[in-house]
Protein backbone atom coordinates (compact mmCIF):
# COMPACT_ATOMS: atom_id res chain seq x y z
CA UNK A 1 0.00 0.00 0.00
CA UNK A 2 1.23 3.51 -0.79
CA UNK A 3 1.80 6.24 1.76
CA UNK A 4 0.38 9.77 1.78
CA UNK A 5 3.43 11.27 0.08
CA UNK A 6 3.06 8.90 -2.86
CA UNK A 7 -0.69 9.52 -2.99
CA UNK A 8 -0.25 13.29 -3.11
CA UNK A 9 2.33 12.97 -5.90
CA UNK A 10 -0.22 11.03 -7.96
CA UNK A 11 -3.17 13.24 -7.07
CA UNK A 12 -3.63 15.21 -10.30
CA UNK A 13 -2.98 12.22 -12.53
CA UNK A 14 -5.56 10.30 -10.49
CA UNK A 15 -8.15 13.04 -10.92
CA UNK A 16 -7.41 13.33 -14.64
CA UNK A 17 -7.75 9.51 -15.01
CA UNK A 18 -4.18 9.32 -16.30
CA UNK A 19 -2.81 6.67 -13.95
CA UNK A 20 -2.10 3.14 -15.08
CA UNK A 21 -4.58 0.62 -13.66
CA UNK A 22 -2.20 -0.68 -10.98
CA UNK A 23 -1.43 2.83 -9.67
CA UNK A 24 -5.10 3.80 -9.81
CA UNK A 25 -5.91 0.72 -7.72
CA UNK A 26 -3.20 1.70 -5.20
CA UNK A 27 -4.68 5.20 -4.95
CA UNK A 28 -8.19 3.86 -4.47
CA UNK A 29 -6.93 1.46 -1.80
CA UNK A 30 -5.16 4.31 0.01
CA UNK A 31 -8.16 6.63 -0.25
CA UNK A 32 -10.39 3.93 1.23
CA UNK A 33 -8.78 4.47 4.62
CA UNK A 34 -7.00 7.86 4.56
CA UNK A 35 -9.33 10.74 5.39
CA UNK A 36 -6.60 13.32 4.90
CA UNK A 37 -5.89 12.29 1.32
CA UNK A 38 -9.62 11.98 0.59
CA UNK A 39 -9.87 15.63 1.62
CA UNK A 40 -7.01 16.50 -0.73
CA UNK A 41 -8.76 14.77 -3.62
CA UNK A 42 -12.06 16.50 -2.85
CA UNK A 43 -10.32 19.89 -2.70
CA UNK A 44 -8.43 19.29 -5.94
CA UNK A 45 -11.62 18.22 -7.72
CA UNK A 46 -13.46 21.32 -6.46
CA UNK A 47 -10.55 23.54 -7.53
CA UNK A 48 -10.45 21.94 -10.96
CA UNK A 49 -14.20 22.45 -11.40
CA UNK A 50 -13.99 26.06 -10.22
CA UNK A 51 -11.13 26.87 -12.59
CA UNK A 52 -12.89 25.18 -15.49
CA UNK A 53 -16.18 26.97 -14.81
CA UNK A 54 -14.57 30.38 -14.34
CA UNK A 55 -12.35 30.22 -17.41
CA UNK A 56 -13.21 32.73 -20.08
CA UNK A 57 -12.47 32.45 -23.76
CA UNK A 58 -9.64 34.73 -24.77
CA UNK A 59 -11.60 36.11 -27.74
CA UNK A 60 -15.01 37.75 -27.74
CA UNK A 61 -17.64 35.44 -29.31
CA UNK A 62 -17.99 37.63 -32.42
CA UNK A 63 -14.26 37.58 -33.10
CA UNK A 64 -14.09 33.83 -32.54
CA UNK A 65 -16.96 33.29 -34.99
CA UNK A 66 -15.28 35.46 -37.64
CA UNK A 67 -12.00 33.64 -37.17
CA UNK A 68 -13.72 30.27 -37.45
CA UNK A 69 -15.46 31.33 -40.69
CA UNK A 70 -12.14 32.58 -42.06
CA UNK A 71 -10.35 29.32 -41.24
CA UNK A 72 -13.21 27.28 -42.72
CA UNK A 73 -13.03 29.34 -45.93
CA UNK A 74 -9.27 28.77 -46.20
CA UNK A 75 -9.67 25.01 -45.68
CA UNK A 76 -12.32 24.81 -48.41
CA UNK A 77 -10.02 26.30 -51.08
CA UNK A 78 -8.08 23.79 -53.22
Q: Quick one: which of 46, 41, 47 has its CA closest to 14?
A: 41
The pLDDT score that the predictor gives to residue 41 is 93
- pTM of the predicted model as reported, rounded to 2 decimal places: 0.64
Q: Which residue has the higher pLDDT, 56 or 16?
A: 16
| Minimum mean pLDDT range among 40-49, 54-63, 66-75 | 54-63
Q: What's the domain count of the chain?
A: 1
What is the rounded average pLDDT of the residues 57-70? 85
What percentage of the chain reaches a pLDDT higher than 70? 96
Distance CA 72, CA 45 (A): 36
Q: Quick one: which of 46, 49, 43, 9 has its CA closest to 27?
A: 9
- What value, to the nearest 5°, has the Cα angle with vertex 18 and ends 13 and 19? 80
What is the tens place of the pLDDT at every residue in 14-52? 999 999 999 999 999 999 999 999 999 999 999 988 988
Range of the domain at 57: 4-76
Amino acid sequence: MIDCTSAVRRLWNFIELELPDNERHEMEEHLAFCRRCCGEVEFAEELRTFLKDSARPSLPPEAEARLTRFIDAIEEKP
